[in-house]
């Protein structure tokens, strides 16, 4: 033995330790992967040795390799070995490795339970500490459930070092095992007043985190925290408490009023920026929640704004950033207070830090008013010119457009100015947002009639200078504006002064280099132009000029007929034919203009995006009915309805075509890179600069002359937006003077109001009248549009299905796969299942303990029983226990109740009262109950449910609800069953197999209560039936009689299953393993929804959904004896097919049969 040890030590000297490994890796930069794979081989050898020191060393090295990205999950078992070492040195390493690489999917994790429990109770505080630290990283629901009690005990440990850790880890335990919250909470609350400040702050941390997610349950603690806040000097604790109050105030406005004072005091006094920032944020939050019913707190807001200004002015970038961030919160409710700091925020646009500039931009969006819009946009335009880097410039561009167009152009008083801003923006080099500008141009030109003339002249200018816009390949994003320009000039050609010139500009050969969709618009609109010129000339009697223009068209159009773009080609050839025909008529001297112009008669109006949806369905029209039988799937590809000109999407898709390819390439490249990065043996090359504009191969060698754009592009006759700013000022001034005059003259005269839709401006704003009599046309709605509030809800919103509050650790919609008795009240949905309200407390391992527990339970129950009767008499006034009789009460409230183990229930005759919880889909699930009828007679009704016991692979618990239906008192109830070879009822020690088990309570009239009975089983692959009898005494005024009722207990195979969550990768592994038997069923005539169907399987058969894709879902469950059961459920038209895989074929076929039965009832 000694020799072996010595040998081990000698061996060890030749092993690499961690330092050697690190050094080795650094020395093998060239062939790192190879070196590491060698090391891993060595480590594997070392792990095979008995010497724990060698193993620990190996595990330590593995932990390092894990950080480098190597998979070490294969060594999980060895890690556990090292964790269980008696020496602290090794244990520490083992726990570290476990905390780094164990996760809920690690299967060996369940082997650690006992080891961790041992370490938790170790006399050495550092053993305990290391176990707690490790546990905080890899605690699973199972571990949480099994160790909750141990950790709770540690919260009262003598050493603050342990108490502190235990308190903190309780938060993780609560998250994993919500049932532990109620029993542990009183002790946790005690810790708020622990003599050790560390423990105290830990408790504050935990409670604050809990309360932030679920504030309403912690309102009662507010006074306690208030005291702590005013007395504590620890900034860490203060920040937590203040944050907690931020979460509580929306629920209790009175709290807010009380808070303002101490918070403002803190703001004045503290020197810690983090605390100041927290206070300011909370004050803002409080004021927002108070804003409705409170006198103004302008002093507090001023204080906050003032402090934030100091932050923003600070040279520290971090404070500047946070100041702006907080400012934007104030802006939402108190825009005025922020607006006065416009100068400061505009200054931030000059900051060298882009993230700060973006924050400032966000703020500006909310700060504009009619008064300052032009000024702000002017500043932004200067920044656009200065900006380096296209991302930021694009951001500026979108912001300018956002700011101007917000709330239906509310702040724009002069649309000529806006059009010139848009035109100026077209000078931007290499922007991606050409389409945004184009959309704005179109929108404004269509909806603001008064501006059309001006817009058309500007657009004509753009078309004339198209070569500047479209010449540079790098600027092709901007050529989108030509789309808008061409359309506007064509559609509103009556406003064109020199239509000939514009038409010629549109017919230039250069146009054919534009993207196809733009050319198509060109072609279409040049006909409109042509038509209006024709009409002009004919009316003027200039026949020759008319023929000339026709000739011009016939000469130039063929270049478009040759286009490679189908759309262009088709339109051009069609139009060419038309014009040739016109020419013939012209030669015959037939006047044609009227007829040609008739092609484009009528005004196009904007249609609201929702208009189509609002068209009422005529009576008697069934939109879902087939007109013809549907053709085969492959042909039924949807065709997108085309809109006339509001076809942004269409343009998108066309325009994006080349980009998609690039994106796709980039995606693949990224995927490959990831693959390589995940492959430790891949030798990475040095990164090469990405070349973005190489998607047009063969053109790189063409020298491109860069136009020097630093010289501002001055198109002759193009007005600069700046001029408008000046003009506008003068105009306003004049207006004001005039108005003053008017006022004096006739005070009563009402000012003519302009037709605006969102006229939500302040008084001072109203003074500014728009330059033109502007009429913004609203988007059209169909007649008798259906009023509906659901406009904003997109039925396809992917987040709707995820509308479950994940942050709510104690939410009742969380369930744990533990042995328990399910609630009648809480139907489960596949993904978020109902919690158990009562828990079977500490899951005792030993029988004696269990019995003791039961005894205790019995005692308690009796007490409760008494209470209940008393309360019944008290007319159910006490709210605390009310829900014992009224299961309909909201579950949330049940948390207040301490450690209630059992609740009396009404039978499931009233499942309608159940609380719908955790349903994922839009469709509410019908109430479900897992309780089935066991027996019924005039006195009593019994329903039961069977649950597998996770702790014992051969036990199930039968919960029976006894409901007294009579007006008599039922007592001395005794339940007995006839055991079979396979299935036996667990009776107290010392009683024979023929003895019954007394039901631990009595039933007053109309009351129900639940009792549990444990059964042991040998084989669980088949369903079982047991006969049994309940005997009881009926007592009423006339005396007492003995009664009994017979029943049959049916143990379905599903009752041996335990709902166990499973990750999709683990699930896939399981399926791949190949040791599972297969079987399938198909059930026809299913009419219920898939969601509902899954919920049924989850609920009645104890499965959990692993993944769901459309009408296909994978599900998983585990039997108490560890059989894996995997299902693939597919829904067809009217049928459901279920493919199952299970480690036991008999069990599987029985399960599927049961499922078939459930489903056939649907």
Partner 1 sequence: MTFALSRWCRVLPLLLFPGGTMQFMLLFSRQGKLRLQKWYVPLSDKEKKKITRELVQTVLARKPKMCSFLEWRDLKIVYKRYASLYFCCAIEDQDNELITLEIIHRYVELLDKYFGSVCELDIIFNFEKAYFILDEFLLGGEVQETSKKNVLKAIEQADLLQEEAETPRSVLEEIGLT
Contact 173, 132 (CB under 8 A): no
Minimum gap (Å) between residue 1083 Cβ and partner 1: 16
Coil/strand/helix, residue 1081:
strand
Q: How far is CA 470 from CA 289, 395, 429, 464, 503, in A?
A: 52, 22, 11, 11, 17
DSSP assigned state of 521: H
Q: Is 46 in the site for partner 1 (CB under 8 A)?
A: no
**Per CB under 8 A, does 321 bind partner 1?**
yes
Per CB under 8 A, 353 contacts partner 1: yes
Tell which positions 794-813 bind partner 1, by CB under 8 A. 802, 806-809
CB 348 within 8 A of CB 312: yes
Rounded to 5°, the CA angle 559-563-568 comes to 100
- The nearer residue to partner 1, 21 or 1086, going by C-beta atoms, is 21
839-858 residues in contact with partner 1 (CB under 8 A) are: none
Q: Give the one residue of 161, 226, 365, 645 binding partner 1; rule: CB under 8 A.
A: 161
For residue 63, state whether it binds partner 1 (rule: CB under 8 A). Answer: yes
Of 31, 71, 497, 661, the one binding partner 1 by CB under 8 A: 71
Binding status of residue 13 toward partner 1 by CB under 8 A: yes
The least distance separating partner 1 from the CB of residue 236, rounded to whole angstroms, comes to 5
Q: Tell me the H-state helices in 820-846.
A: none
Work out how close the CB of 242 gets to partner 1 at its nearest, in angstroms, rounded to a whole number.
Answer: 9
Alpha carbon 470 to its chain centroid, in Å, reads: 41
139 token code pair:
């605690």
CB of 864 to partner 1, least distance (A): 33
Residue position matching structure tokens 């270049």? 559
State the CB neighbour count (10 A cutoff) for residue 568: 27
Cα distances (angstroms) measured from residue 503 to each of 461, 585, 729, 1134: 12, 22, 37, 61
Please, what is the minimum distance in Å from the beta carbon of residue 1113 to partner 1?
Answer: 10
- Residues from 407 through 446 that contact partner 1 (CB under 8 A): none
- 198 near partner 1, judged by CB under 8 A: yes
- Give, as ranges, the residues between 269 and 298 that touch partner 1 (CB under 8 A): 273-274, 277-278, 281
Choose which of 104, 648, 767, 853 interacts with partner 1 (CB under 8 A): 104
Q: Largest alpha-carbon pair distance within the chain?
A: 123
Nearest approach, Cβ of residue 290 and partner 1 (Å): 19
Per CB under 8 A, the segment of 584-592, 846-854, 999-1007, 1109-1117 that binds partner 1 is 1109-1117
- Closer of 33 and 273 to partner 1 (Cβ): 273
Pick the closer one to partner 1 by CB: 276 or 818: 276
| Residue 36 binds partner 1 (CB under 8 A) | no
Give phi and psi for 1013, each to the nearest 5.
-135, 135
Stretch that binds partner 1, among 76-84, 126-134, 376-384, 400-408 (CB under 8 A): 126-134
Q: Does 234 bind partner 1 (CB under 8 A)?
A: yes
Q: E strand or H helix at 135, and its extent? A: helix 125-138
The residue range among 170-178, 222-230, 552-560, 660-668 that interacts with partner 1, by the rule CB under 8 A, is 170-178
Which listed residue (29, 352, 588, 745) binds partner 1 by CB under 8 A?
352
Q: Is 1135 in the site for partner 1 (CB under 8 A)?
A: no
Q: Report yes or no: 821 and 945 within 8 Å, Cβ to Cβ.
A: yes
Helix, strand or coil for residue 688? coil
Q: Are 422 and 474 in contact (CB under 8 A)?
A: no
Indicate whether 172 belongs to the interface with partner 1 (CB under 8 A).
Answer: yes
Cβ contact 935:1045 at 8 Å: yes
Q: Where in 245-274 is the site for partner 1 (CB under 8 A)?
A: 246, 273-274
**Number of residues forming the site for partner 1 (CB under 8 A):** 98
27, 45, 89, 306: which one binds partner 1 (CB under 8 A): 89
Which of 16, 111, 122, 236 forms a contact with partner 1 (CB under 8 A)?
A: 236
Residue from 148, 206, 455, 1094 in contact with partner 1 (CB under 8 A): 206
Q: Answer whether 514's CB lies under 8 Å from 522's CB.
A: yes
CB 602 within 8 A of CB 576: no
**Interaction of residue 707 with partner 1, rule CB under 8 A:** no
Q: Which structure tokens are listed for 422?
A: 């848009």
- Please tell me whether residue 205 binds partner 1 under the rule CB under 8 A: yes
The answer to the question of residue 10 lying near partner 1 (CB under 8 A) is yes
1048, β-bridge pairs: 1027
- Kindly tell me which residue out of 74, 77, 126, 693 binds partner 1, with binding defined by CB under 8 A: 126
Say whether residue 348 binds partner 1 (CB under 8 A).
no
CB atoms within 10 A of CB 1121: 18
In this structure, the number of other CB atoms found within 10 A of the CB of residue 666 comes to 13
Residue 349 Cβ vs partner 1, minimum distance, rounded to whole Å: 15
| Shortest Å, Cβ 31 to partner 1 | 17
Count other Cβ atoms within 10 Å, centred on residue 812. 23
Output 691-694 pairs: Cβ under 8 A, ≥24 positions apart: 693/473, 693/474
Report 1070-1089 residues binding partner 1 (CB under 8 A). 1071-1072, 1078, 1080
Q: Report in angstroms how near the CB of residue 646 gets to partner 1 at its nearest.
A: 32
- Of the candidates 175, 384, 531, 940, which one interacts with partner 1 according to CB under 8 A? 175
With b meaning 16 or more CB within 10 Å and e meaning fewer, what string describes 1014-1049?
A: bbebeebbebbebebebebbbeeeeeeeebebebeb
CB nearer to partner 1: give 234 or 406. 234
Comparison of 54 and 1093: residue with beta carbon closer to partner 1: 54
- The CA-based angle 920-1113-104, given to 5 degrees, is 75
Ranges within 367-406 binding partner 1 (CB under 8 A): none
Does position 73 bind partner 1 by CB under 8 A? yes
Stretch of residues binding partner 1 (CB under 8 A), selected from 206-214, 446-454, 467-475, 1014-1022: 206-214
Report the distance separating Cα 298 and Cα 817, nearest Å.
52
833 lines the binding site for partner 1 (CB under 8 A): no
Residue 96 in contact with partner 1, rule: CB under 8 A? yes
Classify residue 1015 by its DSSP letter.
E
Beta bridge partners of 1013: 958
The Cα–Cα gap between 821 and 944 comes to 10
1013 to 1072, contacts with partner 1 by CB under 8 A? Answer: 1063-1065, 1067-1068, 1071-1072
**Would you say 8 or 335 has its CB closer to partner 1?**
8
For partner 1, the binding residues in 921-950 under the rule CB under 8 A are none
What is the token pair recorded at 994?
């023929």
The reply to whether 5 sits near partner 1 by the rule CB under 8 A is: yes
Which 3-state string (H, E, C) describes 16-52? CCHHHHHHHHHHCCCCHHHHHHHHHHHHHHHHHCCCH
Decide: is 92 part of the binding site for partner 1 (CB under 8 A).
yes
From residue 412, give the alpha-carbon distance in Å to each of 395, 756, 835. Answer: 21, 11, 55
**Rounded distance, CA 448 to CA 418, Å?**
12
d(CA 605, CA 81): 76
Asked if 574 is part of the footprint of partner 1 (rule: CB under 8 A), the reply reads no
CB of 14 to partner 1, least distance (A): 12
CB of 273 to partner 1, least distance (A): 5
CB of 1107 to partner 1, least distance (A): 5
Using the rule CB under 8 A, give the single segment among 66-74, 225-233, 474-482, 892-900 that binds partner 1.
66-74
Residue 129 or 827: the one with the smaller Cβ distance to partner 1 is 129
Measure the CA–CA gap between 638 and 1145, rounded to whole angstroms: 44
């Amino acid at each position: 033995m000694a020799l072996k040890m010595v040998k081990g030590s000698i061996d060890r000297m030749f092993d690499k330790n961690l330092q050697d490994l690190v050094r080795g890796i650094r020395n093998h930069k060239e062939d790192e992967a190879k070196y590491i794979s060698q090391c891993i081989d060595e480590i594997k050898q070392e792990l095979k040795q008995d010497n724990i020191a060698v193993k620990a060393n190996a595990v330590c090295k593995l932990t390092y390799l894990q950080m480098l990205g190597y998979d070490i999950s294969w060594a999980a078992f060895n890690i556990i070995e090292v964790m269980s070492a008696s020496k602290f040195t090794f244990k520490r390493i083992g726990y570290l490795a476990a905390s780094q690489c164990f996760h809920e999917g690690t299967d060996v994790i369940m082997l650690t339970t006992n080891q961790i429990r041992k370490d938790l109770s170790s006399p050495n505080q550092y053993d305990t500490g290391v176990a707690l630290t490790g546990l905080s990283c890899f605690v699973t629901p199972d571990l949480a459930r099994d160790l909750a009690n141990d950790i709770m005990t540690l919260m009262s440990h003598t050493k603050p070092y342990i108490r502190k850790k235990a308190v903190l880890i309780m938060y993780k335990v609560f998250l994993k095992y919500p049932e532990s919250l109620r029993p542990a909470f009183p002790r946790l609350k005690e810790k708020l007043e622990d003599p050790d400040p560390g423990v105290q702050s830990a408790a504050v941390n935990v409670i604050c985190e809990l309360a932030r997610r679920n504030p309403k349950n912690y309102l009662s603690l507010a006074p306690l925290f208030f005291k702590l806040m005013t007395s504590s000097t620890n900034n860490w604790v203060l920040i937590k408490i203040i944050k907690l109050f931020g979460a509580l105030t929306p629920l209790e406005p009175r709290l807010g009023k009380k808070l303002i004072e101490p918070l403002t005091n803190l703001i004045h006094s503290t020197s810690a920026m983090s605390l100041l920032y927290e206070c300011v944020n909370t004050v803002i939050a409080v004021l927002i929640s108070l804003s409705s019913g409170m006198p103004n707190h302008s002093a507090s807001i001023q204080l906050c704004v003032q402090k934030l200004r100091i932050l923003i002015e600070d040279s520290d970038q971090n404070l500047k950033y946070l100041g702006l961030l907080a400012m934007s919160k104030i802006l939402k409710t108190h825009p005025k207070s922020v607006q006065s700091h416009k100068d400061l925020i505009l200054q931030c646009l000059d900051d060298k830090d882009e993230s700060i500039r973006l924050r400032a931009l966000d703020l500006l969006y909310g700060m504009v008013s009619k008064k300052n819009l032009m000024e702000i946009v002017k500043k932004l335009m200067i920044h656009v010119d200065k900006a380096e880097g296209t991302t930021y410039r694009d951001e500026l561009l979108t912001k300018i457009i956002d700011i101007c167009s917000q709330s239906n152009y509310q702040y724009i008083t002069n649309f000529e100015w806006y059009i010139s801003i848009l035109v100026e923006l077209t000078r931007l080099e290499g922007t991606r947002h050409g389409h945004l500008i184009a959309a704005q141009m179109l929108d404004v030109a269509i909806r603001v009639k008064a501006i059309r003339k001006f817009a058309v002249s500007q657009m004509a200018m753009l078309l004339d200078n198209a070569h500047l816009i479209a010449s540079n390949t790098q600027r092709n994003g901007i050529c989108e504006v030509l789309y808008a320009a061409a359309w506007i000039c064509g559609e509103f050609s009556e406003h064109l002064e020199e239509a000939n010139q514009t038409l010629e500009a549109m017919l230039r050969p250069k146009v054919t280099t534009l993207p196809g969709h733009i050319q198509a618009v060109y072609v279409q609109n040049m006909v409109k132009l042509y038509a209006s010129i024709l009409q002009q000339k004919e009316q003027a009697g200039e026949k020759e000029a008319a023929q000339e223009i026709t000739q011009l068209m016939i000469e130039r159009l063929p270049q478009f007929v040759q286009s490679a773009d189908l759309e262009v080609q088709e339109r051009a050839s069609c139009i060419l034919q038309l014009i040739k025909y016109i020419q013939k008529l012209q030669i015959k001297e037939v006047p044609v203009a009227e007829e040609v112009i008739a092609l484009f008669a009528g005004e196009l109006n904007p249609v609201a995006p929702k208009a189509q949806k609002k068209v009422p369905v005529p009576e008697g029209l069934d939109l879902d009915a087939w007109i013809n039988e549907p053709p085969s799937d492959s042909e039924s590809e949807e065709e997108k309805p085309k809109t006339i000109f509001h076809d942004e999407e269409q343009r998108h898709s066309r325009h994006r075509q080349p980009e998609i390819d690039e994106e796709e390439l980039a995606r693949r490249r990224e995927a490959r890179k990831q693959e390589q990065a995940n492959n430790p043996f891949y030798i990475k090359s040095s990164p090469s600069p990405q070349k973005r504009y190489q998607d047009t191969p063969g053109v790189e060698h063409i020298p491109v002359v860069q136009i020097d754009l630093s010289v501002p592009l001055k198109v002759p006759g193009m007005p600069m937006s700046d001029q408008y700013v000046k003009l506008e000022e003068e105009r306003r001034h004049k207006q004001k003077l005039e108005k003053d005059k008017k006022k004096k003259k006739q005070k009563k005269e009402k000012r003519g109001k302009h037709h605006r839709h969102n006229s939500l401006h302040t008084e001072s704003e109203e003074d500014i009248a728009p330059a033109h009599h502007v009429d913004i046309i609203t988007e059209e709605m169909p007649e008798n549009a259906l009023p509906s509030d659901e406009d904003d809800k997109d039925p396809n919103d992917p987040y709707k299905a995820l509308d479950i509050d994940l942050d709510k650790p104690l939410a009742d919609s969380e369930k744990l796969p533990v042995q328990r008795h399910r609630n009648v009240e809480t139907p489960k949905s596949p993904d978020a299942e109902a919690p158990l309200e009562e828990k079977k407390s500490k899951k005792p391992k030993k029988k004696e303990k269990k019995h003791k527990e039961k005894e205790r339970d019995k005692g308690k129950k009796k007490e409760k029983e008494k209470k209940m009767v008393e309360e019944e008499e008290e007319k159910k006034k006490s709210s605390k226990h009310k829900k014992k009789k009224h299961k309909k009460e909201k579950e949330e409230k049940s948390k207040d109740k301490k450690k209630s183990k059992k609740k009396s229930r009404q039978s499931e005759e009233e499942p309608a009262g159940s609380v719908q919880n955790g349903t994922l889909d839009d469709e509410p699930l019908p109430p479900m109950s897992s309780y089935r009828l066991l027996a019924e007679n005039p006195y009593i009704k019994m329903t039961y449910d069977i649950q597998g016991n996770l702790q014992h692979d051969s036990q199930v618990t039968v919960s029976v609800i006894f409901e007294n239906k009579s007006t008599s008192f039922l007592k001395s109830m005794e339940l007995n069953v006839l055991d079979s070879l396979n299935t036996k009822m667990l009776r107290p020690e010392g009683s024979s197999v023929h003895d019954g088990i007394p039901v631990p309570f009595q039933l007053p009239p109309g009351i129900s209560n639940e009792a549990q009975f444990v059964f042991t089983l040998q084989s669980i692959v088949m369903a079982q039936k047991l006969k049994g009898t309940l005997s009881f005494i009926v007592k009423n005024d006339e005396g007492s009689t003995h009664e009994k009722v017979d029943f049959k207990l049916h143990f379905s195979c599903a009752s041996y299953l335990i709902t166990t969550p499973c990750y999709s990768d683990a699930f896939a592994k399981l399926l791949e393993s190949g040791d599972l038997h297969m079987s399938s069923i198909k059930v026809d005539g299913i009419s219920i929804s898939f969601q509902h169907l899954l919920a049924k399987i989850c609920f009645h058969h104890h499965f959990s959904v692993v993944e769901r894709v459309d009408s296909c879902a994978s599900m998983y469950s585990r039997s108490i004896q560890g059989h894996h059961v995997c299902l693939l459920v597919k829904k067809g038209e009217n049928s459901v097919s279920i493919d199952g895989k299970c480690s036991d074929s008999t069990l599987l076929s029985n399960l599927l049969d049961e499922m078939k039965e459930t489903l056939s009832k649907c």
